[in-house]
Structure 1
Amino acid sequence: MGALLWLLIPVLAALAATLWSTWVMRNRKSGDVAELAGYARFRAAMEKEPPAPDPASDTF
C-alpha cells in the first residue's frame, strides 16, 4: 500500500504539470488588439506638430 502512495506523488505531479502547461499555452489574442490600438493612438499623438506659440501672449 505504501508503494502505491509513493507512486501517486509523481502521477499527481505530472497531472499538475499538464494543467500548468495547458494554462500557460492558452490563446490570449484578445488583449493584443486593444494594446495595438493604444499604441497607434500614441504614435498619432507623437506625430502631431505642436501648436505655434502666440507672440502676443509673451509679456516679458
Structure 2
Amino acid sequence: MAALAWLLIPVVAAVAAAVWGSWAARTRTTGDGSSLADYERFRAAMSKTEAGSR
C-alpha cells in the first residue's frame, strides 16, 4: 500500500502539471480592437492639430 501511495504522488503532480500547462498556453483575448481604434482616433486628432499649428 505504501508503494501505491508513493506512485500516486508523481501521478497527481503530472496531472497538475498538465492542467497548469494547458491553462498557461490558452489563447487570451484582451479586447485590443477597441483600444487600438481609440489610439488611431487619437493619432488622427493629434495629426490634425499638429498640421494646423504649423
Give TM-score, length-normalised by structure 1. Answer: 0.58
Structure 1 unaligned spans of 5+ = 51-60
Q: CA RMSD in A?
A: 2.3
Question: Structure 2: 5+ residue runs without aligned partners?
Answer: none
User: Which residue does 2:4 correspond to in 1?
Assistant: 4
Aligned residues: 51
Could you tell me the TM-score, scaled by structure 2's length? 0.63
Higher helix share: 2
Number of the residue aligned with 2:34 = 34
For 1:49, what is the secondary structure of its paired residue? Answer: helix
Q: CA, structure 1 residues 38+22, in 2 after alignment: closer, same or farther (shift >3 Å)? A: farther
The list of structure 1 runs, each at least 4 consecutive aligned residues, that deviate by more than 2 angstroms after superposition, is 29-48
